[in-house]
Every structure is written in structure tokens, then in C-alpha cells.
Structure 1
Amino acid sequence: MKWGQIVRDNRFKAVAVLSDQVFEFECTMADALASGLVYQVRDEASATDAGGSIIEEFDESQLVMPLKPGKFLCVGLNFTDHAQEVGAELPKYPTIFTKFSNALIGPHDHIQLPDADASTKVDWEAELAVVVGKSVRNVDRHLAQDAIFGYTVCNDISVRDWQGRTSEWFQGKNWDSSTPLGPVIVPADQKDVASGLRMTCSIDGEVRQNGNTANMVFSPAEIIAYLSQFMTLEPGDVIITGTPAGVGLSLHPRKWLEPGQVVETEIEGIGILRNKCI
């Protein structure tokens, strides 16, 4: 099964995509996580019992950003091949930064590039996003794994010259309407990240990144355990977990996103983002 979110009657509604039916619920996806509803639904009967109603006509083009995260946390330099391509040592601890909701867009929305006089050095970064399903504080990695509700797809679009202005990456990572997320959340018990899921990013059909989640330095559970040492993580928080090799910064010559290009970001068995740059 998969979870997502649609807009109907000007309201965000959680949807559960089962094998034969799609059910909508009278709550947002964030509320479905906070209430535990997502753990109640396993089949059509339980979806009905939980208050879901069948959507007769549905396709994935109806899906918007799967939830508005309470906190959106990011991990840098978390793939061995990416650290090597940018000439960085493997980190001893997870490298943490944040994004805010102004940067986030849905799976089919346009990526808003900066005005050309502000920057033309805009890069792509395919990333696995982890959706927290349970509140945790100061847990080990086993309990951290249990706190993961599921996984979705993200592209951590980065304005590289602004990112490099200081030692803090924040200002290169938070441009308005730049970071697609979605289209669905796949429950964690359906995917084995450690064994490896293929991750790709293509620009106008040309594959630029072709990586695998097996090459993470820190696993999602290790990241959650680390974060939980100093902060409480709550249902609906999202953590993106780093990007594999193949970013534009490391190509020779370097390549950057341009208006009109279409960015496709895919993680095996989870979903694909398709976003046009404008």
C-alpha cells in the first residue's frame, strides 16, 4: 500500500492506495500520522472501519505534496560516492541542516529557479526522505527504526554559489518553491533500504545520478537515533538522507539546471517526481 494526499473541496485529504481501491479520509496526512490512523489501515475492511471512503476515479496526477512536515531535517555528505566526488572525508557524525516549508513543492509542481542575476548555479540532488511516525527522544537505532513510518522521494535542489558563501549551507538550500517531495509514502515495512533501492535523477531524459541507498554512511535509523539525542522527533517530521554521486557541481565541465528543463527523480519501488524548471 501507499499513502498520499489530494486536494478536494479546497481541503487536503489523506489517501490510502491499496491494491484494488483508493480511500480518502477526512483529515490531512499529517493528522493521519499524528492520530495513528495510518497504522490502523492495512486492507479495504480496515480502511472502511477507519472512516475512509472509496475514490471512484483516481490517478497519481491528483497527488500533491504528501504532507506538510512539522520539521524538515536534512543530512549532507551521507553517501560514500558523493563524499568522494566532492573531495570530502566521510563524516564522523551526521551533517545536519534544515529546510523550511517555503522551499517545498509537490511531485508535479514547477521548480522555481532564481532570477539569472541572483544565481545560475542550481544543482540537483536525488534523496530518500524518511517520514517519522512516532514520537521519539533519546532512542537507540532499534527503537529509531520502529519510529519510521515510511519513505518518499525528494530532490534537494541547491543553489551552489549561495550555499558556498559561508560554512553554513542554509542559504543555498531554502529558495522558495525549489524542493519537490512525494508523490507517495510507502510504509517502511515494505522496503529494505539497507539492501539497496536504486535512486536516479534525470534531466530531460539524460540520467545524471544513478545511485543506491545501500551506499549510505548513516542509515535512516542511525540518523533518527542521533537526532533524538538532542531533540524530540514527532509524527509528520521528515528527514532527507543525502544524495549519491552525479551532482552537477562535480561534473567536468559543471552543469546546472536551466529554465525549461524537466527533472525526474525516482527511487525504486517508491515513486517518481517530475518537475519542470521555470
Structure 2
Amino acid sequence: MKFLTLEQGQLGALIEDEGQQQVVDLTAAAKLFELEPLPMTLAEIVGWTDEQVAALWGLAQVALDKGVSCRAYSEVKVIAPIPQPRRNILCLGKNYLDHAKEVAEKMQASSDAPEHPIIFTKATTSVIGPGDDIPAHAELTRKLDYEAELALIIGKEGRDIPEEQALDHVFGYTAINDVSARDLQKDHVQWFRAKSLDGFAPMGPVVVHRSVMPEPKDIQVSCHINGEQRQCANLDQLIFDLPTIIATLSKGMTLLPGDIIATGTPAGVGMGFRPSKYLKSGDEVVVSVSGVGSLTNRVV
């Protein structure tokens, strides 16, 4: 079950049909077939029950079979799955040991694994969608970097969530690029500004319901710059796994449906190379996540 957001903000479903990718406008189909409750956006359905989501997916299949409210994926403009998140994106820093080591070497700091998850946020206004341009912000930074990550979309509200129940609170998964200005990151010490400039959170192209995602240990995260692979790792290399992340964030703080959690990036970021390989105008950045697909953006 793959859901996306179409050009007018309406909810869509991406379906494989005889080797072709088809998109059903679920908002239009739900009106046509008088489905209740009427789904308008992806942000609205993340809090639905599994039964409601299954019924919605069944509607998408019916619409496709009848040839109504559907188009080829190649003909569709897709925007960020949740273009205006209700809260800042919650992010994990240095959550792959090899990445922590490459950062430590460059910054002449300790390369030990963090004792506790390193948590920061990105502003909601940093979100852009697949195919959108990443602004170079050349007037502000000379060290523009990429970070390929898996992101969780919370579907069930919870506080003090036990690790063994954590994944039950996830609606689905998507890909995100935690674009960063490394010079601003150093100048301001705290990471918020360096990671929150407009266009610094490409996201998408789809949100995949947790029921059809691979097991976390089988999920691979990778990044290619102009066709060159820079990052590649499986989630079993995380220092703090997904249940630990959710349990930690929810301790004393309520997680809400629609909250987005970026889980950390593997080794291979631009600053980690010698010499560094920072992004420049014209570069194509492709973030890929198993089960989700590829998120492509270009720097301008």
C-alpha cells in the first residue's frame, strides 16, 4: 500500500498494474464511490485504523479496475507526502557508527558511539517534494551536503511507548534527504539553522504502509550523486534501532499522528571525503530506500 500526494494536495495511491505504475486519485474516487470518511489528504489518513486503510486501498483497486480517477505515474506531478507537517521534523544525528566516525575524524572529536540518541529538528518550511529543486543558498553556505535517510510517519498517538509496541505506532515509511549547510552547522553550534533552510528536506515520493514494508533489517538506504554511489547501508547498522528511537522520543513527550522522524544517515556524506565532496549547482541527488523507491532532486 503506497500512498502519495498529488499536485493539488489530494491523496493518491500508487499501484503496480501489469508492470506499469498507475496512480489513483483517491480523493476523487472516494467522492465518486461515496466512501466515508472521505479522505482528502495523506496527512488525514495517517491516523486511520488498519481496517480503514485496507478499505481505502480496496477502493483504489476498484477505481483502477474500472478505469476511473487514474493516470499513469509518468503523467502525474507528485509533491511531498506531507507538504506542511504539523510539527518540526524530528531527526537523529550520528545514528550509524561509520558516519559518527567519519564526522569525528573531520571534526577532530571522539569517534565513540553516542550513549544516547542525538536529537534535533528541521523546520516544517524546509520540506520540498520529489523533483523539486534544492536551493544552493550560495549566499549563505559553501558547504552544502546531503544525508540519505529513512523517515517514519507516526500514525498512532502515544506517550511513554514501550519498545515492544513502538512499531505499532508507525503508519508508514518514506525517504528523506537531510540537506545540511556544514559551515552554518559549525558556526551556530546547534544544528537547527544549518538544517532548516528552505528546501533542505526533500521527501517522498510515497509513504509505504508499515504492513507492506520489508523487515527493518532488510531495509537499505543509499544515495547517488550524479550517478556515483556515495552512501549505502542497511538499517541493521543503526546504533539506535527504530523501536528505541520511538520509545526514547515518546518518553514524557506525546508523539502525534503525522509526526515525521528521520532516523539518521549512513557514512559517505560529502564532508567525510578527503577532499570533501560538497554539493554544487546542477548536481542530481538520488536517495533510495528499500520498499519506498527513489527520491530525486537537483541542486540549483
Whether the TM-score (by the shorter chain) exceeds 0.5 is: yes
Instruction: Determine what percentage of the aligned residue pairs are the same residue.
Output: 37
Counterpart-to-counterpart distance in 2, 1:208 and 1:48: 37
Matched, 1:58 2:72: yes
Q: 1:97 to 1:51 in 2, by over 3 A?
A: farther
Aligned residue in 2 for 1:70 = 86
Q: Is 1:47 equivalent to 2:59 in the alignment?
A: yes
Query: What is the identity, as a one-letter code, of the residue corresponding to 2:136?
Result: L
CA pair 23-135 structure 1, distance change in 2 beyond 3 A: same
Q: Shift of residue 200 of structure 1?
A: 1.3
- Asked whether 1:14 is paired with 2:11, we answer yes
2:34 is aligned to none
Cα distance in 1 for partners of 2:62, 2:52 equals 7
Q: Tell me which residue corresponds to 1:29.
A: 42
Q: Distance in 1 between matches of 2:294 and 2:60?
A: 28
Q: What residue number does 2:143 align with?
A: 121
Quickly say closer, same or farther: Cα 1:49–1:195, change in 2 above 3 A. Answer: closer
User: Is 1:266–2:281 an aligned residue pair?
Assistant: no
Aligned equivalents of 2:259, 2:136: Cα separation in 1: 26
- Which is further off, 44-53 or 138-147? 44-53
Contact 2:219 2:289 in 1 (8 A): yes
In the alignment, structure 1 residue 276 sits paired with structure 2 residue 276? no
Distance in 2 (CA, whole Å) between partners of 1:274 and 1:86 is 25
Structure 1, residues 178-226: CA drift from partner, whole Å, max 9, x if none? 2200000111122234323222111111111122211111112211111
Matched residue type, 1:32: I
Bigger fraction of residues in helix:
2
> Are residue 99 (structure 1) and residue 122 (structure 2) matched?
yes
Contact 1:37 1:50 in 2 (8 A): no
CA distance in 2, matches of 1:269, 1:66: 15
Q: For the residues of structure 2 that align with 1:231 and 1:58, how far apart are their CA atoms?
A: 42
In structure 2, the residue matched to 1:151 is 173
For 1:122 and 1:228, how far apart are their aligned partners in 2?
32
1:2 aligns with 2:2: yes
One-letter amino acid matched to 1:138: D
Paired with 2:56 and 2:232, the residues of 1 have a C-alpha distance of 36
Give the residue type in structure 2 aligned to 1:75. Answer: L
SS at match of 1:86: helix
Which of the numbers 88, 98, 101 marks the counterpart of 1:81?
98
Segments of 4+ moved more than 4 angstroms: 48-54
The size of the alignment, in residue pairs, is: 273
Alignment partners' CA distance in 1, 2:255 and 2:96: 23
Contact 1:193 1:214 in 2 (8 A): no
For residues 249-269 of structure 1, the C-alpha deviation after alignment (integer angstroms, 9 at most, x for no partner) is 110111110001111111122
Greater Rg by CA: 2
Sort the Cα spacing of 1:5 and 1:150 in 2 relative to 1 into closer, same or farther, 3 A: same
Q: How does 1:115-194 map to 2 (within 5 A)?
A: 115=138, 117-194=139-216
- The aligned residue for residue 131 of structure 2 is 108
| TM-score normalised over the length of structure 2 | 0.84
Aligned-pair distance for 1:110?
0.3
- The alignment's TM-score, normalised by the length of structure 1, stands at 0.90
Shift of 1:105: 0.3
Query: What residue identity is the alignment partner of 2:156?
Result: K
- The residue type equivalent to 2:26 in the other structure is E
Distance (Å, rounded) in 1 between the aligned partners of 2:195 and 2:233: 21
Give the superposition deviation at 1:82: 0.7
Confirm or deny that 1:247 pairs with 2:269: yes
What letter corresponds to residue 150 of structure 2 in structure 1? Answer: L
- Write the deviation string for residues 151-202 of structure 1: whole angstroms up to 9, x where unpaired: 1000100000101113311111111112200000111122234323222111
